Each structure stands twice: as structure tokens, then as C-alpha cells.
Amino acid sequence: MYVETVINFLSTQGVDFALKLLGALAAWIIGRWVISLVVKAFNGVVSRGHKIDATLAKYLSSIISVVLTIVLVLAVLDIFGVRTTSFAALLAGAGLAIGAAWSGLLGHFAAGVFMQVLRPFKVGDFVQAGGVTGTVHEVGLFGTTIVTPDNVMTIVGNNKVFSESIQNYSTLPHRRVDCSAKVDNSVSPTDAIARLKPAIAAIPNVLASPAPDIEIMGFTPEGPLLCVRPYTHNDHYWQVYFDTHKAVVATFGAAGYPVPETPIAPRNR
């Protein structure tokens, strides 16, 4: 029965359907090519004008691409005889599942619009947003693309980004580097602090104002725990972070400080 139906369809409408299919395929390929040219031209105009920053430019580029793609899909459906009104009726009849999905997408879209208005961060900023830490690559229609420090591109929904706390490490001109150093109980913490201050201040890209903070942060069974906190520009954070640890090791080694050892607990008799 089904074979006869298929044979009958191919014999009566097969040629017409094949022509429509080829026409739709050609329209899709050409349409996508035209859309890419339009988006590329828009990006070129924006980059030459320098009147729109990169964050807003990429957001507008995403909007143009999505709108033109929707128009292209409707045009392809029209080739098969599916009118816009029929397509809308088809979507309306899909039920609550599609409605819930669109509700989530609209939430991400609305959050993206608010982020463009309020500007908690911009492309190139190092942030923690939506539970992801990294450099902002793009703020899209529905998601924000963040490149993590281990070079993984991560896309987070705009609604998740906007509904949670956002930490922007690039907004302020300098940042504190938090490190710690433990000294043995036999070592005077005052002497250790006095030796560390010039060593930390001499690290390249450490700011003189505010001056590095080197103080006693706490006490452990092995000995006092010092906080070593220099300040630096955001661009040099990791360089200063690693150099601070190297300076602590070099300073304590030159002073002949013993390595703190965990006390051995007495045995019960």
C-alpha cells in the first residue's frame, strides 16, 4: 500500500517535487552566502567607523544574521508552498513544549538586551559570570561566549549570566594578588616580613602605590602564616602571581630559613 502510494506520488508529482527541492537547496545556499556577505559588510563598516564598540557590534551582527536567516527559511518554505500564515499556524499547533522553549529563549534574549544597556562587561574583559571565569569573546542574542584560561570556548545563556553575580576583573585599573607564605616556628615573622618587603617591591610590574601588604595572617602548628599581597595592573596579574612565589622561595632560601615541618603527634601509651 505504501509502495503504491510512493510510486504514484513519484509518477505524478516527482518531477515537480524534485524541481522544488533543487530550487530550495539553491535558494538556501545562495541565501546563506548573501547573508554572510551582508554580515561581513556590516562588520567592516563598523570596524572602520569606530563609533560602535566591539560588544555592541557583535550583538547587532548576531541580530542581523538571525533575522535574515528567518526570512530565508520562510522563503524556502514558500518554495514548497508553505505560506507564512500556515507556518505560523503550524508553530501555534505545536503545543506547550515549543511555547516553553520559546519562553526560555525570550528570557535569554531579554537578558542580552539588558546587558547591552547596562553594560556589566564588554568584549575582552576578564570576568566571572554564570559560573564561568574567562575572557568575554562575544555577547550574542541568547548566549555569552567566554574563553576560559585553559583556552576552552564556553557559551553561557544570557539569562543565567544576568541572573547571577558578575565579577568583572578588568573594570578597575589594578588588582591585588593574593599569595601566602608559611615560616617555621623558629623563624621570627618580623624578620621574614622585613626581608620580603623589598623583594616583593622589586618584582617587575608590582605597583608602588598601593604598596604590597605583607602581614601575619594566622598561625599553624608548623609556624606563622604570612599573607603576601602585591598590587599590579590586570594585564600583569599572572606574571606577578608566579614571580611573587618565586621571590618568597628565593628570599627564605637566602635567609637560611628551615622548611616548616608538621609536628609529629605523640603516641598514646
Domain 120-168 has CATH 1.10.1040.50: no
Task: Compute the Cα dihedral for 152, 69, 79, 26 and give only its sign.
Answer: negative
Share of the chain above pLDDT 70, in %: 77
Q: Once rounded to an integer, what is the mean pLDDT over residues 121-149?
A: 90
The CATH fold of domain 2-93: Helix Hairpins (1.10.287)
Task: Give pLDDT tens digits for 240-262.
Answer: 999 999 999 999 999 999 988 76
CA of 65: how far to CAs of 103, 109, 150, 183, 233, in Å? 21, 15, 30, 59, 37
**Which is higher by pLDDT, 11 or 259?**
259
Q: Answer yes or no: is pLDDT of 79 > 90.
A: no
Q: How far is it, in rounded angstroms, from Cα 181 to Cα 176?
A: 16
Mean pLDDT of 196-211: 95
- Can you tell me the mean pLDDT for 6-31? 70
Q: Is the pLDDT assigned to residue 230 strictly greater than 70? A: yes
- Residue 264 confidence (pLDDT): 62
Amino acid at 215: E
Tell me the pLDDT band of 265, cut-offs 50, 70 and 90.
low
User: Is it true that the peptide bond before 221 is cis, omega within 30 degrees of 0?
Assistant: no
For residue 28 the three cell numbers come to 538556501
pLDDT, tens digit, 9 for 90 and up, residues 179-193 = 999 999 999 999 999
Identify the three-state secondary structure at position 264: coil
Write down the domain spans for the chain.
2-93, 120-168, 174-255
CATH domain 174-255 topology? Alpha-Beta Plaits (3.30.70)
E strand intervals along the chain: 126-129, 132-139, 143-147, 153-157, 166-168, 174-176, 179-182, 213-219, 224-229, 231-233
Q: Which residue has the higher pLDDT, 202 or 87?
A: 202
What pLDDT does residue 259 have? 85
Question: 139 with 115: CB under 8 angstroms?
Answer: yes
Mean model confidence pLDDT for the chain:
81
Q: What is the structure's pLDDT at 142?
A: 84
Residue 76 has pLDDT above 80, yes or no: no
pLDDT attached to residue 193:
95
Question: Residue written as cell 567607523?
Answer: 49
Q: DSSP for 67-105, please give it.
A: HHHHHHHHHHHHHTT--HHHHHHHHHTT-HHHHHHHHHH
145 forms bridges with which residues in the sheet?
138, 155
Q: What is the pLDDT of residue 96?
A: 47
Please give the model's pTM, rounded to 2 decimal places.
Answer: 0.60
- Collapsed DSSP state (helix, strand, coil) of residue 219: strand
Listed range (45-49, 61-65, 69-73, 246-250) with the worst mean pLDDT: 45-49
